[in-house]
A = this chain, B = another copy of it.
Amino acid sequence: MAPRRPSEESRARGPATPCHPLPPAAVHRLSQYLRCFKQLEAQGVRSVSSLQLARSFHLSAAQIRKDLSLLGELGTRGVGYDVSVLVRSLSETLGVDTEHRLLLVGVGNLGSALALSPVFQRPPFRIVALFDRDPAKVGRVVAGVPIEPMTALARSVAEKQIRLGIVTVPSRAAPSVCRLLAAAGIRGILNFAPVVIPPPSGCVIRTVDLGLQLEELTYLLLHAPSS
């Protein structure tokens, strides 16, 4: 079924990333898997079976096999998967085998905290530019990066070739900031303001909404086991 050429040179320089239209649900899980594979790698584990993985991840073994088979035949029948192969393959598919430079707009409490987060203290993600509308903040340095005024945004994006952005401005300002980023060439945005933002063309916006997460929890609390 896999519409891939069974040529022997499987690790050739050519696109081992054959324009995958992976199911979104699978992408999410692959990301989780990658995290766990890296953990196993750090522990010195060389090989795992789908059953072992299932127990660690609290998922089904069939699910894991199907997800991994989407990337090609990564395992060895009768044996299992080689952890380092998994890490390499997943990293490549998800696009995290190269560095990604990010900018962050809105250096308030949340913005500062995110900029200082461990995620950005090692590859592949690195924050290389900070912006804030408040002139009093401009010039201050957070996480080793100086805060610039909004007027410097477009130029920085072009110069530093930034394609990803994080938006931690008040809800009111978020839609216009996202439009601004998209216009400057940003291709993907992680937005922390609790508002629905009209998606600019050519730019994906993913909103992380604390209140929404909490409401889903309260629903479960209300309509789940043991009242």
Residues in B with CB closer than 8 Å to A211 are 31, 35, 119, 125
CB-based nearest B residue for A21:
B223
Per-position binary interface string of chain A over residues 114-143, scored 1 when its CB falls under 8 Å from any chain B CB and 0 otherwise:
101111000011000000000000000000
Copies in the complex: 2
Q: A204-B217, A213-B206 known; A58 and B199 CB under 8 Å?
A: yes
Report which of B31, B118, B119, B222 forms a contact with A95, defined as CB distance below 8 A: B222
A200 vs B225: C-alpha distance in the bound complex, in angstroms?
13
State whether A196 touches B32 (Cβ < 8 A). yes
A112 interface residue (CB < 8 Å to B): yes
Range, interface on chain A = 35 or more
Of residues 127 to 173 in A, which have CB atoms within 8 Å of B's CB atoms?
A: 163-164, 170
Which of A2-10, A41-49, A60-68, A186-194 is the interface stretch? Answer: A186-194
For A94, A118, A208, A219, which residue has the most chain B Cβ atoms within 10 angstroms? A219
- Cβ of A143 to closest chain B Cβ, rounded Å: 10
Where the two chains meet, the residues of A that have a C-beta atom closer than 8 Å to any C-beta of B are 17, 19-22, 24, 27-28, 31-32, 34-36, 56-58, 93-96, 100, 102, 108-110, 112-114, 116-119, 124-125, 163-164, 170, 187-188, 190, 194-196, 198-199, 202, 204, 206, 208, 210-226
